Amino acid sequence: MTTPALEVHKLNQWFEKGTPNENHALKDVELTLQPGEFVTIIGGNGAGKSTLLNSVAGSLQVTQGQIKIAGKDVTYQSVAKRANLISRVFQDPRSGTAPLLTVKENLALALKRGSWRNFWRRGVKRDDLALMKEKLASLNLGLEDRLDTDIGLLSGGQRQAITLLMATINLPELLLLDEHTAALDPATSATVMDLTQQIVSAQHITTLMITHNMQDALKYGTRLIMLDHGRIVVDLPAEKKRGLTIPDLLALFKEQSGEEMNDDAVLLS
């Protein structure tokens, strides 16, 4: 049997436990991702999406439960310890790249797994350059001709496309996408989402993506989950989500949670 890429077992997260402000943000969450699955996560405001991603990434300490990545128990491992297993792309295109370094230098740093020591010591080899050019050309944004351009001079969409390349160049066990197109205009967001799908499926990268865009949640990925008040209330495989519309999804949410979806961003998308 194949080892799952991600196993979340009975995950509970509380904020300010034992105080009047106690908040039980995740409740007995069970989630298993097989290698290559691309799961989109939607849910209302405060449903627990970020708490789930932060728990998996290690930026939030687990209160109760277990998290395994590629069979390894990482529940109490720091973000740094998990870094060789997980890559994460955030909403802000500025957060994933170093603005004063060139495209080539940023990609070289990613190839050295973010280690400045290896970066300075080993420099950029000819094989690395060939790989960078090939990867950049696959984006179809003409960035293979801009290897010596400072990243800070590129547009948000170009930067986010490069961030995606950097996040996947070493084939992580798990890719976390944290509303990574939300800060882009609709056309650029669509380009970056198409690239995401292309990169993830070509390299069979297991992916968990939070989005407020229901259309994207339906269009992309191989599975869709909906969170509500800290619980997974809907879990749809590809064949079930195919053909669904946003109203279908809203109706499903209401049926499962007993409430209307309360996310303005979702409703407007």
Ligand X SMILES: Nc1ncnc2c1ncn2[C@@H]1O[C@H](COP(=O)(O)OP(=O)(O)OP(=O)(O)O)[C@@H](O)[C@H]1O
Cα–Cα–Cα angle for 29, 170, 80, rounded to 5 degrees:
55
Q: Considering only 38-46, 160-168, 200-208, 217-225, which stretch makes contact with ligand X by CB under 6 A?
A: 38-46
Does 25 participate in binding ligand X (rule CB under 6 A)?
yes
Q: Which string of b and e fits 57-72 if b means at least 16 CB within 10 Å?
A: bbebebeebebbbbee
From the list 178, 227, 254, 257, the residue with the least C-alpha distance to 26 is 227
From the list 258, 255, 259, 227, the residue with the least C-alpha distance to 47 is 227
Interface mask toward ligand X for 3-22; x: CB under 6 A: ------------xx------
Residue selected from 9, 12, 50, 66 as contacting ligand X according to rule CB under 6 A: 50
Tell me the C-alpha distance between 111 and 219, whole Å: 31
Tell me the C-alpha distance between 41 and 250, whole Å: 14
Residue selected from 6, 11, 38, 48 as contacting ligand X according to rule CB under 6 A: 48
Q: Which string of b and e fits 78-109 if b means at least 16 CB within 10 Å?
A: eeeebbebbbbbbbbbeebbeeebbbbbbbbb
Residue selected from 12, 23, 63, 118 as contacting ligand X according to rule CB under 6 A: 23
Tell me the C-alpha distance between 15 and 208, whole Å: 23
Q: Which is nearer to ligand X, 47 or 57 (CB)?
A: 47
State the minimum distance, in angstroms, from the CB of residue 60 to ligand X: 8
Q: Which is nearer to ligand X, 112 or 212 (CB)?
A: 212
Tell me the C-alpha distance between 152 and 67, whole Å: 36
Q: Considering only 46-54, 66-74, 141-149, 165-173, which stretch makes contact with ligand X by CB under 6 A?
A: 46-54
Q: Which amino acid, one-letter code, is at 50?
A: S
Cα–Cα–Cα angle for 184, 186, 192, rounded to 5 degrees:
60
Q: Considering only 48-56, 80-88, 119-127, 236-244, which stretch makes contact with ligand X by CB under 6 A?
A: 48-56
Residue selected from 34, 45, 78, 140 as contacting ligand X according to rule CB under 6 A: 45
Q: Considering only 1-9, 43-51, 131-139, 240-248, which stretch makes contact with ligand X by CB under 6 A?
A: 43-51
Does 49 participate in binding ligand X (rule CB under 6 A)?
yes
Does 46 participate in binding ligand X (rule CB under 6 A)?
yes
Does 63 participate in binding ligand X (rule CB under 6 A)?
no
Residues contributing to the site for ligand X (CB under 6 A)? 15-16, 23, 25, 43, 45-51
